[in-house]
Amino acid sequence: MLAPSSKYFNRDDVVKIYQQHRPQYNKDVSDKIMEFVRKHHNSEEPYDLAVDVGCGSGQATSLFASHFREVIGIDCSHRQIEEAKLGNKFLNISFLVGDAEALPFKDKSIDLIFTAAAAHWFNLPKFLNEASRILKPDGCMGLFSYCFPKVGRSLKDAESQKIDDAIMWNHVWKHISPNPPTEPMLKYANIFKNIKAKHKERNDEVKIKYTWTLEQIVGLIKSYSWYGAYLDMKMKSVERNSPNAIDGLSQAFKQSMGVEHLQDSDVHLEIEWEIFIVLATGLNHTGQNE
Ligand SMILES: C[S@@+](CC[C@H](N)C(=O)[O-])C[C@H]1O[C@@H](n2cnc3c(N)ncnc32)[C@H](O)[C@@H]1O
């Protein structure tokens, strides 16, 4: 049985916007995870198999291709897996449809299990149970995700960044998602607390940074599940013909920058995500399925 979230992540509009507008990770993320793997790998054997659970359209999978003999991406959405296969350029990467709570791997067969922006969607006790079962005794787990990004004309200029952040996030929480979702960073603090392992640590140092157009930033907002919930609510509401809140966001940005005459695709902003990584080895959840 596929996870309930597969319904949402199989929607064509969700898959498309997700693939176009979610950030790619950089090598700093895989370097941090591989540093941990190297520290805990006990044998002379090379790293064999890594699994990316909740791989989506493969945003993080390829980062590990050069470190392992084989990397397998797995996701409960067959549409995400189709996109991942289409975009794959590596012979040692393959993709499968499946659930984080019932992973199709033998006991003690995996060197690294990792998840990117996905663990908060899983039934965590069941996933941790599966991770404990399939990891080799010295195998490692790396769960990473990102916070809501900082946005600014120049992120080095703290004052203008505060103004731009306020335009973006105040607008979003006021007009699009009146009950702000829990900051992902907090969620992973909870995940971290619940991991039973011989050794666990977290790393909050990695950042990914791009220059994006306002059009891309608006696309990012549209890729969040709470934007989908806003659209569903709007469809049912009598206000469905009122101006779209997302147009208000892009107008407010352009006004503050004095560039109302420009297209969103011609307005450039810096955008930065803090990545947080939860690392563990010697997981001890087997048989504790709740
Ligand atoms: C927010 S996306 C992250 C995708 C990608 N890893 C990234 O970093 O952008 C979450 C992904 O987890 C998948 N997912 C959610 N619950 C799942 C589950 N229980 N088992 C497998 N995949 C799951 C969704 O289908 C979706 O593709």
Task: Tell me: do 199 and 64 sit in the same domain.
Answer: yes
How many structural domains compose the chain?
A: 2
Task: Tell me: do 87 and 58 sit in the same domain.
Answer: yes
- Cα dihedral 262, 151, 17, 26 sign: positive
Task: Tell me: do 45 and 165 sit in the same domain.
Answer: no
**Within-domain flag for 288:** no
Query: Separation of 52 CA from ligand 1 center, angstroms?
Result: 10
Task: Tell me: do 156 and 264 sit in the same domain.
Answer: yes
**Within-domain flag for 142:** yes
Dist. CA 261–CA 255, nearest whole Å: 9
Q: What is the pLDDT of residue 241?
A: 45
- Mapped to the 3 state alphabet, what secondary structure does 66-97 carry? CCCCEEEEEECCHHHHHHHHHHCCCCCEEEEE
Locate the ligand 1 atom nearest the alpha carbon of residue 127 and give its number.
19
Locate the ligand 1 atom nearest the alpha carbon of residue 123 and give its number.
19
* Nearest-CA residue for atom 10 of ligand 1: 118
The residues of the chain scoring below 50 in pLDDT are 240-242, 290
Query: Separation of 151 CA from ligand 1 center, angstroms?
Result: 25
Query: Separation of 77 CA from ligand 1 center, angstroms?
Result: 8
Answer left, alpha or beta for residue 229, where phi above 0 means left and psi between -120 and 50 means alpha.
alpha
Closest CA to 208 of 145, 165, 253: 145
Query: Separation of 241 CA from ligand 1 center, angstroms?
Result: 33
Task: Tell me: do 168 and 192 sit in the same domain.
Answer: no
* Nearest-CA residue for atom 4 of ligand 1: 56
Q: What is the pLDDT of residue 246?
A: 83
pLDDT in tens, 235-278: 765 554 445 788 889 999 999 999 999 999 999 999 999 999 99
As for ligand 1, residues whose beta carbon falls within 6 Å of it are 3, 5-6, 9, 22, 54-56, 59-60, 75-77, 80, 99-101, 116-118, 121-122
Dist. CA 201–CA 142, nearest whole Å: 10
* Nearest-CA residue for atom 12 of ligand 1: 54
Q: What is the pLDDT of residue 1?
A: 64
Q: Which domain holds residue 138?
A: 5-148+182-207+275-283
Q: What is the pLDDT of residue 175?
A: 85
Task: Tell me: do 98 and 38 sit in the same domain.
Answer: yes
Q: What is the pLDDT of residue 86?
A: 95
**Within-domain flag for 60:** yes
Task: Tell me: do 194 and 264 sit in the same domain.
Answer: no
Task: Tell me: do 159 and 200 sit in the same domain.
Answer: no
Residue 216: partners with Cβ closer than 8 Å, 6 or more residues away: 21
Q: What is the pLDDT of residue 280?
A: 98
Query: Separation of 22 CA from ligand 1 center, angstroms?
Result: 12
Dist. CA 103–CA 97, nearest whole Å: 10
Neighbours of 265 (CB within 10 A): 10
Q: What is the pLDDT of residue 232?
A: 77
Q: What is the pLDDT of residue 267?
A: 96
Closest CA to 76 of 1, 129, 14, 184: 1
| CA distances (Å), origin 222, targets 119, 177, 197, 231, 258 | 21, 12, 37, 10, 24
Task: Tell me: do 144 and 155 sit in the same domain.
Answer: no
Task: Tell me: do 125 and 56 sit in the same domain.
Answer: yes
Which residues are bridge partners to 274 per DSSP? 207
Query: Separation of 117 CA from ligand 1 center, angstroms?
Result: 7
Q: What is the CATH number of the domain that holds 10?
A: 3.40.50.150
